[in-house]
Chain A
Amino acid sequence: MSFIKNTLSWIAPPTAPGVQSGAGGADFLTTKLDVLVQWAHSNSLWPLPFGTACCAIEFMSVVSSHYDLSRFGAEVVRFSPRQADMMIVAGTVTDKQAPILRKIYDQMAEPKWVVSMGVCACTGGFYRAYHVVQGIDEIVPVDVYVAGCPPTPENLMRGIIELQRRIQTGDLARHRQNKTYVPIRVGEQPVIGLPAYSQSVMAPNRPGVSEMPVMADSAEADMGAKADVLKHQGDRS
C-alpha cells in the first residue's frame, strides 16, 4: 500500500486522493474517479505515429533503445487509429496527404490528443509552397507543438511529458469544455497562425478567434499571408 501512496503523491496533487487506514487497520484508498482515470490515461498513452518525412526518422530514434520513450509510459506504438489515443504527426503534411490525416484523426476514439512534431507539422516550416499544408492545425486540433527541424528526441519527450502533466491535472478536458484552451509549445516558439485555421469547419472543437490570446504583430502578419493562400483555394476554376 505504501507503494501506491508514494506513487499517488507523486503523480497527483496531494489533496485529491489519499490512502487512509480504516478502523480495523485495513488500508483503503479514497480518490475521485476523474483523478484515477486521468492518471491512467496519462501513463498509458498509445501513440499513433503519423510519420511522413524526416521527423519520422527522428521519432524512430525516440522509440528505439537509446532514448526509449517507453520509460514515460508511451511505448505501445500502434498503427491502427482504433487502438491509439495520441497521434504524433511527424513530418510535412502536403495537400495530398491532408484528407488522409483528417480521416485517421476522425477514426481515433475519444479521448485523443495530437502532438505536432517539427516545424513542418506546426507551420509548414520552410516549405512555403504550393503543395504543403501550412500547419496541421488547418485540419486537426493540436495539443502540443514541438518546435525543431527535426526536434531533438529530448524535445519530443518533453512535449509528451508536458502533455501527460496536463492530462493528469485535468486541464485539457476542462479547457476544452470551456474553450479556454491554449496548446503547449515546446522549444523555440514557432510562429503559429492558430485562429485563422481554427475557424475551418474541419476542426470543430477549436476555440474561436475572440477567445484566443492576442498574438504578436509578426505572427499576425504571417497569418495574413497564409490566409491569402487559403483564400485562393476557394476559387479553383
Chain B
Amino acid sequence: MSALASAPSSSLTYAPVLDKRFGPKARIEARPAKDIATITLTDRSAYIEVARFLRDDPACAFDLLLDLVSIDLLNAPAPLRPRDGSRFQLHVILYSTRRNDHLRLIVNLPEQNPRVPTLVNLWPAVNWFEREAWDLMGIEFEGHPNLKRLLTHNGFVGHALRKDYAAGQRWLCTEEDLLQTDLAAQTETPEDIFETMTVNLGPSHPATHGTLRIVLRLDGETIVAAEGECGYLHRCFEKMSESHTYSQVIPYTDRLNYCSPMINGFGYARAVEDMLGVEIPPRAKAIRVILSEFNRIMDHMVCIGTNLVDLGALTNFWYAYQAREAIYGLLEACCGARLTSSYARVGGLSADVPPNFDEWSRSLFPIIKTQLDDIDGLVSKNRIAHKRMRGTGIVSRENAIAWGFTGPCGRASGLAYDVRKDKPYEGYDELDFDVPVMTDGDNFARYYVRMEEMRQSLRIIDQQLRKLPKGPVTTDDYRVILPPKEMVYNEMEGLIYHFKVVFEGTKVAPGYFYSSVEGGNGELGYTIVADGSGNPYRLKVRPPCFPLFAAYEKIIKGGMVSDAVATLGMLNIIAGELDR
C-alpha cells in the first residue's frame, strides 16, 4: 500500500559535509519520497554538536525550528523500536528559510532518566516545545531556563502521553495550583518595588478571546515583565487520537483551530494519504482547495473582527460575521454542519458538493468583497487604528525566525514563507496567486497582510472554480475508504471492505511521517507515527500559534498594556490548537 520510494541521498547537499564531520555518529535515513529528510543520531552525546552544525553550516542553514515531537515507544513493534532498546524518541523538525527545505533530527533516549541538553540557546522557539515534552512525556532538558508544566496543571501527577498512563486518569486542580507563576524568577527586581504591581490578564478575560492567561508586572501602564500561560483548554487531543482509528480522528481535528475547521481536517487527511501512498481524485483536491480558502477567509475575519472590537471598533465585528454567516451557509450545504464539519476523509471527502456549488460560491464573492471593502474603508486609513496598531508589537525578521513564526504573522515580519507556495500541495502550484509580505512586523502589518490574503483567497477560489474537474470525490481504494452503498449491499467483496474499514480502520504500515499545510495561522504540521494497526500510535500536531503565543511575553515587554491587547488579537491565538 505504501509507495516507499526512497529519496536519493545525493539530493541532500549537506550529506557529504555531515558525513565527513560526524561519520558514524549521525546517519541519513532513506525516506519515502513525500516525507522530509531525516538524520538519526546513533551517538546521543553528539546532539548539541549536530544541532549547531545543522543551524550554522551554510549547506544546511536550518534556522527555523518548527516542532519538537516526543514519542514513547513502549509498546511499539520492532521496526519502530531502535535496536538499542531505547524507550523514548525525540524528533526535532527544522526548516531552512534560505534553502526551503525541511529536516527531521531524531535522537533516542533510554527508559531510565531520559534527558538531553536543551536547544534553547540554538533556537529560542524550542523553549515551550521542550516544556511540553517535559510535561506530557517526562523528558528532561538539561539547562532549560524554566522547565515546568505547561499544558496540565500543577496538581497533575505523571506524564500523560506516556503509554503506561491511563487516558481517563484525572487529578484535581485547586485554585492554589493556579496561583503559582514564576514571574519573579524571570525579572530583575525593579528599583522602586512599590511602583510595580502584578496583574492577571485571563484566563477568563474578554481580550484573551478564549482561555489564555498572561501575568503582567506593571509599572504604571508599562509592562516590565510578563509571563504567558496556556493549557486551559488542553483537551488531550493527542492522547484521544491514540485510541481512535485514523478516520475517527477527523472530528477531533475540526476542533483544533475552530475558526478554520476544514483546513485542519484536510491537512490531517493529506498526511495519512501521503503516508499510505494514496492519491485522491482531482475533483477532491480542487474542492479541498476551494473550501480551505473559504475557511482561511473565515479565520482572518474572526481575527480582524474580534481584534477590532478590542480596539473599540465594534461595527467591523458585525460586518465580519455577516460574511462568515454567508460562508457557513455554503459549508452547511456541503457537509451538513456549520462549524465542526468533519468533511475530510482519508482518501477524499465525505460527500460531493451540492450541484449548484459553483453559482453558490460565486454568489458569496460580492458579499465578502463588500464586507472587506467596508472594513478596509473604516479601518485601513483610520487615524485611531493607525495609532493603536502602527509601531506596536514589533517583531523583526530575525526574531520571527528565531521564535518560530510562520504564516501571516511571519509574513508581516518579512519572512516570505507560505507552505502553499514553497511546498505546494493539492495543486496549489497550478494556481496563480500572490503571497503578501510586509516588513514592518507591527500589528498593522499583521492586519494588512490578512486583509490582502483574503483577497488572494478569492482569486484562488475563482480560478479553481473555473476549472473544477468532474468525477468522483473519493479514491477507489476501498482499503482506505468506505465503498459505495450499492457495492456493500450487492457484492461480497464490498461488504468485507466495509466491515474491515469500520471495525479495524485503515491500516497504516509502521513508520513515521511529517506533513504540513498552510493553516489560518501558519504552518500546520502533523507528525504521525504508525505501528501497523488501525489507530495512530502517536499523533503530534504542530499548532501554528504555539510559537506565536510563546513569543508573546517577549513581544509585549516594555510596551503598554493597551498595546499588549492589540498585539494579542493580531497574533490570533486560537486556544483550541494552542493547547490541543
Q: Interface code B148-185, partner A: CB below 8 Å = 1, 0 otherwise?
A: 00011101110010000111111111110110000000
CA distance A129 to B255 in the complex (A): 15
Chain A, residue nearest B155 (CB): A236
B338 on the interface (CB 8 Å rule)?
yes
Residues of A2-17 at the interface with B, using a CB-CB cut-off of 8 Å, are none
Task: State whether A57 and B170 are in contact (beta carbons under 8 Å apart), knowing that A152-B338, A237-B157 are contacts in the complex.
Answer: no
Taking a contact as CB atoms closer than 8 A, the residue among B169, B233, B251 that contacts A94 in the complex is B233
Please tell me if the beta carbons of B157 and A99 are within 8 angstroms of each other in the complex.
no
Please tell me if the beta carbons of A100 and B236 are within 8 angstroms of each other in the complex.
no
CA distance A160 to B251 in the complex (A): 27
Q: Interface code A146-157, partner B: CB below 8 Å = 1, 0 otherwise?
A: 000110100000
Taking a contact as CB atoms closer than 8 A, the residue among B157, B232, B239 that contacts A129 in the complex is B239
Task: State whether A60 and B321 are in contact (beta carbons under 8 Å apart), knowing that A53-B575, A79-B205, A92-B235 are contacts in the complex.
Answer: yes
Interface centre among A97, A103, A126, A233, by most B CB within 10 Å?
A97
Taking a contact as CB atoms closer than 8 A, the residue among B166, B171, B204, B339 that contacts A100 in the complex is B204
Task: State whether A57 and B204 are in contact (beta carbons under 8 Å apart), knowing that A95-B170, A233-B170 are contacts in the complex.
Answer: no
Interface centre among A64, A127, A131, A237, by most B CB within 10 Å?
A131
Note all chain A residues with C-beta closer than 8 A to B232: 52, 94, 96-97, 100
Residues of A103-148 at the interface with B, using a CB-CB cut-off of 8 Å, are 103-104, 126-132
Chain B, residue nearest A124 (CB): B235
Note all chain A residues with C-beta closer than 8 A to B157: 236-237
A159 on the interface (CB 8 Å rule)?
no
Task: State whether A127 and B170 are in contact (beta carbons under 8 Å apart), knowing that A96-B231, A96-B232 are contacts in the complex.
Answer: no
Note all chain A residues with C-beta closer than 8 A to B339: 54, 57-58, 150
Q: How large is the interface on B (under 10, 10 to 19, 20 to 34, 35 or more residues)?
A: 35 or more
Please tell me if the beta carbons of A97 and B233 are within 8 angstroms of each other in the complex.
yes
Q: How far is the CB of B286 from chain A (nearest CB, A)?
A: 27
Task: State whether A232 and B152 are in contact (beta carbons under 8 Å apart), knowing that A53-B258, A65-B321, A99-B175 are contacts in the complex.
Answer: no
Please tell me if the beta carbons of B153 and A96 are within 8 angstroms of each other in the complex.
yes
Task: State whether A61 and B175 are in contact (beta carbons under 8 Å apart), knowing that A54-B339, A54-B340 are contacts in the complex.
Answer: no
CA distance A160 to B437 in the complex (A): 45
Count of residues in A whose CB is under 8 Å from the partner chain: 44
Residues of B258-308 at the interface with A, using a CB-CB cut-off of 8 Å, are 258-259, 261, 302, 306
CA distance A129 to B231 in the complex (A): 14
Please tell me if the beta carbons of B234 and A131 are within 8 angstroms of each other in the complex.
yes
Chain A, residue nearest B168 (CB): A229
Q: How far is the CB of B250 from chain A (nearest CB, A)?
A: 12
Note all chain B residues with C-beta closer than 8 A to A197: none
Chain B interface mostly helix, strand, loop or mixed? Answer: loop
Interface centre among B165, B170, B317, B325, by most A CB within 10 Å?
B170
Please tell me if the beta carbons of B239 and A99 are within 8 angstroms of each other in the complex.
no
Interface centre among B174, B203, B576, by most A CB within 10 Å?
B576
Please tell me if the beta carbons of A61 and B325 are within 8 angstroms of each other in the complex.
yes
B318 on the interface (CB 8 Å rule)?
yes
Chain B, residue nearest A78 (CB): B206
CA distance A152 to B336 in the complex (A): 11
Task: State whether A233 and B168 are in contact (beta carbons under 8 Å apart), knowing that A61-B325, A65-B318 are contacts in the complex.
Answer: no
CA distance A131 to B155 in the complex (A): 11
Interface centre among A52, A56, A126, A152, by most B CB within 10 Å?
A52
B247 on the interface (CB 8 Å rule)?
no
Note all chain B residues with C-beta closer than 8 A to A64: 317-318, 321-322, 325
A66 on the interface (CB 8 Å rule)?
yes
CA distance A98 to B172 in the complex (A): 9
CA distance A228 to B166 in the complex (A): 13
CA distance A99 to B234 in the complex (A): 15
Note all chain B residues with C-beta closer than 8 A to A150: 338-340
Q: Interface code B213-253, partner A: CB below 8 Å = 1, 0 otherwise?
A: 00000000000000000011111100110000000000110
Task: State whether A96 and B178 are in contact (beta carbons under 8 Å apart), knowing that A79-B205, A149-B340 are contacts in the complex.
Answer: yes
For the complex with contacts A53-B235, A233-B170, 19 further pairs of A-B residues with Cβ separation under 8 Å are A54-B255, A54-B339, A61-B324, A64-B322, A66-B321, A92-B235, A94-B233, A97-B211, A100-B178, A103-B175, A126-B251, A128-B240, A130-B170, A130-B236, A132-B170, A149-B340, A229-B170, A230-B170, A234-B172
Q: List 13 A-B contacts (CB under 8 A).
A: A50-B204, A52-B233, A57-B302, A57-B339, A95-B170, A96-B153, A99-B175, A128-B167, A130-B152, A130-B169, A130-B239, A132-B236, A237-B157
B interface residues (Cβ-Cβ under 8 A, vs A): 151-153, 155-157, 160, 165-175, 177-178, 203-206, 210-211, 231-236, 239-240, 251-252, 254-255, 258-259, 261, 302, 306, 317-318, 321-322, 324-325, 328, 338-340, 575-576
